[in-house]
Structure formats: C-alpha cells, structure tokens
C-alpha cells in the first residue's frame, strides 16, 4: 500500500514548555479511513496541525514520502485538507462563496477554475445556492458542511477533520457521516464520537498524553472495553446500543 503520511519519532512541546506530543509514530496509507480517538487534551489537535506544516515538524513528518519544506508547503496544504473543529474559525469570510473560493484563489487558479471548483465543492456537500449567504446566518449543520466544501474546492488527497460531529444533533451528525462516507479520499478524523468511528472508519489509533497507545482495526479496539476505559473513552452503553441496533445508515 502506498504511504500518504508517515510520522516518525515526533515530539512537540507547547511554547510554554508543556509537552504535547511524545515520540509519536504513525503511518497512514492511501485510502485509509483513520480515526484518532483520545481524551480531551491528549494532543489530537496538535498532531493534526503537524500534518500540513502549521506546526513545524522538521523531518519527522513525511507527506507522500516528502518532507515538508518551504518550497512544497503550498502543495502539501492542497493535498492535505485540514478542517478545524469550530466552523467560526474555519469560515472567516463575508460570504460562503468567498470562503470556499479562498483555497483555490491562493493556489492561483484562474477565475473560471475557481468558480467551477466552488460550484463543485458546494454541490458535493449539498449546499449549492448558498454562495451569497453569510455564514453567521447559517445553522451549525450547514456551517459544518461548508467547512468541508472549503477544502473540497482544493481537491485534497487526504481530508483531516477535527471533531467533525461535535455539537451536532443526531440528525445533523448522521447526515455529515453519510456525506463523509461518500468522499473517496483518505480520511483522518480526530473525534470522541465512537458511533462515527464505527460507521466511518476502518482503523483506529488511541492517543493519550501525547502518545499513541493503541493502533488497530475498529472492531477490535472498540470492543476492548478495558482499553477504552483506561483512556477515558469508555462508553459501554453507547457502544452496546450502537452495535446492537446497528447504525441508522446501515439499517
């Protein structure tokens, strides 16, 4: 299998000296749908910020077998689309169109290409016709979809999502899961939502206190209750009900 991302011996401390990541090793292959789970403050978001060079990663992170350098930084950021947890951070422009067009414009697309990319991306997330709206007048579910469109417009090869379903109601959540399931790209999803993991991912890593403490297929890890409990992820009732009743989308 071809490697998409390889992280070797990555350690990182916050500017105030507090360690955030400790000797992380992780390889993500093309076509993977990887869930990164772990308690609050485990370092999930920090790790995600290393994947596209927002936080400096020197030689520890390789994207499609290349180190991130100033030269390929833009290309790396196109190939690795990062969606932040809070749509109010991800969507910073006056209109939806401007937000979705922001990436393509920075990549130097022509006007026609930009318009095409925006139209395609909005169509994929089912938000066509919202181009001229401003995002603070949209619902959270709508904003979450548009955050995904903002990276789809750059045709990424890996989608990296930080807590995509946080704060969504169940219907919004399952709509989003359906949407993500249809995207045929490599996905890395940081989440606490074990239902999402079960419905969407095939591989799970558990991150705790800046270390990867488990890495395996979804079925094994989600049913290893002592492991989940040891890392603040226990959800026996949730898991049982999800596996007994089956997720609605599979129903």
Partner 1 sequence: MKHSFLDQYSDRDSLIHRLDPRTKLIAVFLFILAVSLTSQVLWPVFSLYFVLIAVLVTLSTVPVFYIFKRSLVIIPFVLLITIFIPFFKEGEPIATFHIWTWQVSASYFGLQLFITILVKAWLSILSLIVLTSTTTISDLLHGMEQLRLPRVMVMIFSFMYRYIFVLTDEVMRMRQARDSRNVGGSRLRHVKTVGAMAGTLFIRSYERGERVYAAMLSRGYDGHTRTLRRRDFRLADLIFSICIVLVLAAACLFNYLH
Q: Which chain residues interact with partner 1 by CB under 8 A?
A: 49, 52, 54, 74, 77-78, 81-82, 84, 86, 88-95, 98, 101-103, 105-108, 111, 114-115, 132, 134-137, 150-151, 154
CA gap 130, 142 in Å, rounded: 10
Q: How far is the CB of 132 from partner 1 (least distance, A)?
A: 7
Q: For the sheet containing 3-13, what is the strand order?
A: 19-29, 3-13, 61-63, 66-67
User: Between residues 118 and 197, which has the closer beta carbon with respect to partner 1?
Assistant: 118
CA gap 186, 27 in Å, rounded: 12
CA gap 190, 84 in Å, rounded: 10
Q: How far is the CB of 238 from partner 1 (least distance, A)?
A: 28
User: Between residues 3 and 89, which has the closer beta carbon with respect to partner 1?
Assistant: 89
Tokens 């789970």 — which residue?
A: 37
User: Between residues 54 and 217, which has the closer beta carbon with respect to partner 1?
Assistant: 54
- Closest to 211 in 3D by CA, of 55, 36, 61: 36
User: Between residues 19 and 92, which has the closer beta carbon with respect to partner 1?
Assistant: 92
User: Between residues 49 and 180, which has the closer beta carbon with respect to partner 1?
Assistant: 49
Q: How far is the CB of 24 from partner 1 (least distance, A)?
A: 19
Q: How far is the CB of 179 from partner 1 (least distance, A)?
A: 20
The maximal CA–CA distance of the chain, rounded, in angstroms, is: 54
- Closest to 97 in 3D by CA, of 78, 119, 77, 70: 119
Q: How far is the CB of 216 from partner 1 (least distance, A)?
A: 29
């Amino acid at each position: 299998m071809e490697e998409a991302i390889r992280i070797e011996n990555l350690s990182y401390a916050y500017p105030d000296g507090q360690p955030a990541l400790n000797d992380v090793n992780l390889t993500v292959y093309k076509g993977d749908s990887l869930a990164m789970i772990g308690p609050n403050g485990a370092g999930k978001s920090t790790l995600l910020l290393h994947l596209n060079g927002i936080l400096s990663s020197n030689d520890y992170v390789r994207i499609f077998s290349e180190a991130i350098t100033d030269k390929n930084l833009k290309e790396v950021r196109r190939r690795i689309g990062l969606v932040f947890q809070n749509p109010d951070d991800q969507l910073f422009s006056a209109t939806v169109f401007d937000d979705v067009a922001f990436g393509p414009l920075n990549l130097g697309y022509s006007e026609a290409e930009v318009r095409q990319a925006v139209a395609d991306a909005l169509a994929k997330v089912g938000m066509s016709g919202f181009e001229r709206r401003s995002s603070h007048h949209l619902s959270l579910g709508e904003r979450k979809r548009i955050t995904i469109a903002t990276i789809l417009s750059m045709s990424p090869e890996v989608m990296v999502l930080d807590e995509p379903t946080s704060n969504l109601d169940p219907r919004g959540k399952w709509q989003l899961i359906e949407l993500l399931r249809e995207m045929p790209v490599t996905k890395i999803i940081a989440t606490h939502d074990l239902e999402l993991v079960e419905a969407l991912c095939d591989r799970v890593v558990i991150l705790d206190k800046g270390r990867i403490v488990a890495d395996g297929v979804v079925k094994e890890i989600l049913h290893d209750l002592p492991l989940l409990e040891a890392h603040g992820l226990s959800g026996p009732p949730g898991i049982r009900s999800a596996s007994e009743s089956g997720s609605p989308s599979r129903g």
